[in-house]
Amino acid sequence: MLQIHEITALRAQVADWKHQGLRVGFVPTMGNLHDGHFALLELAKSRCERVVSSIFVNPTQFGPNEDYARYPRTEQRDIDGLARNGCDVAFLPSADVMYPFGIKNYVQMHVPGITDILCGAHRPGHFNGVATVVARLFNMVQPDAAVFGRKDYQQLQVIRYMTREMSFPVEIIAAPTLREASGLAMSSRNQYLSDDERITALEVFRTLQFMRDACIAGISSDHIEQQAFERLEAKGFEVDYAEIRAEDLGRLARARGNARVALIAAKLGRTRLIDNLEFEIIS
């Protein structure tokens, strides 16, 4: 596996692959990799002949009181994991490569509407940072396809919107959420949880299942969301939201089709957990 730090070398390698007629996939990460990330890599490998994965902890998607400084950085372990799982290039840009004019004077990307709800309402500016760094990475890597996990459902929708709006020639591939045997969605932030908190955290997925089942049974979404909120609070969570939305994250009153998604974001101790569950209602 090649390790590349500069844009020129990366583009040269990708251009060489494309000259050979090879399809190039891309898996962007912030490091601290786990089996969920390696599942994204495996999906990219199944759809492309060559795969680039980036490791960059992006400062512009963290708010002033969030965990950028303590976000776990395990670069050598991550590089070893990428190599072991068949990655072709690890792209390891510095902050100066990603933001040559610094993070006070950088050009920002904003996706309207969809970034102002759910996590966007509770983390102002977060999705501007996500869209900005992904747009830059698309420009640097120039992949044919990029893989994102469904666990970050709103992020996936933001990237889909941006990719279509900006006419990026990149296929967005959505990967299923990978869960531990307990049902807990895999996340780099799970390591912040104490042993007791890990047990309590299972209530997030249980509550999503409750929301799905109640919605399919025809119970009103307002009632379901209130009950979900109360269930989580009773277990000690500080709940940002527990909502049911249409597939495109629009309100149910304007939903087309039967696809739905239940979404939860809640803090347990110092750790903010997000998860979702997609399902269909019966007409």
Q: What is the pLDDT of residues 108-155, one digit of tens each?
A: 999 999 999 999 999 999 999 999 999 999 999 999 999 999 999 999
**pLDDT tier at 282, thresholds 50, 70, 90:** confident
Residue 37 among the catalytic residues: yes
Segment 189-204 mean pLDDT: 95
Segment 152-170 mean pLDDT: 98
- Is 212 buried (19+), middle (13-18) or exposed (0-12) by CB count in 10 A? buried
What is the predicted pLDDT for the residue at 283?
Answer: 72
pLDDT over 80 (residue 102): yes
pLDDT over 90 (residue 64): no
From the list 5, 37, 122, 223, the catalytic residue is 37
User: In what side-by-side order are the strands of the sheet with 50-55?
Assistant: 2-4, 89-91, 50-55, 24-29, 145-149, 171-175
| Long-range contacts of 41-47, Cβ-Cβ distance < 8 Å, separation of 24 or more | 41/82, 41/85, 41/86, 41/87, 41/147, 42/85, 42/86, 43/147, 43/173, 43/175, 44/145, 44/147, 44/173, 45/86, 47/23, 47/145, 47/147, 47/173
Question: CB atoms < 10 A from the CB of 182, how many?
Answer: 10
The residue extents of the domains of the chain are 2-175, 188-275
**pLDDT tier at 255, thresholds 50, 70, 90:** confident
CA distance 217 to 213: 6
User: Are the CB atoms for 153 and 276 separated by under 8 Å?
Assistant: yes
What is the predicted pLDDT for the residue at 60?
Answer: 96
CA distance 52 to 74: 18
pLDDT over 80 (residue 274): yes
Q: Output 99 or 255, whichever has higher pLDDT.
A: 99
User: Are the CB atoms for 72 and 191 separated by under 8 Å?
Assistant: yes
Instruction: Quote the percentage of the chain above a pLDDT of 90.
Output: 93
Segment 16-40 mean pLDDT: 97
**pLDDT tier at 186, thresholds 50, 70, 90:** very high
CA distance 206 to 212: 10
pLDDT over 90 (residue 198): yes
Structure-token pair, residue 71: 């976000």
How confident is the prediction for the chain on average, in pLDDT? 96
User: So what's the architecture of 2-175 in CATH?
Assistant: 3-Layer(aba) Sandwich (3.40)
What is the predicted pLDDT for the residue at 73?
Answer: 92
What is the predicted pLDDT for the residue at 144?
Answer: 98
| Long-range contacts of 116-121, Cβ-Cβ distance < 8 Å, separation of 24 or more | 117/154, 117/249, 118/154, 118/241, 118/243, 118/245, 118/249, 118/263, 118/265, 119/154, 119/240, 119/265, 119/274, 120/154, 121/241
Q: 188-275 maps to which CATH number?
A: 3.30.1300.10
Query: What pTM did the predictor assign?
Result: 0.95
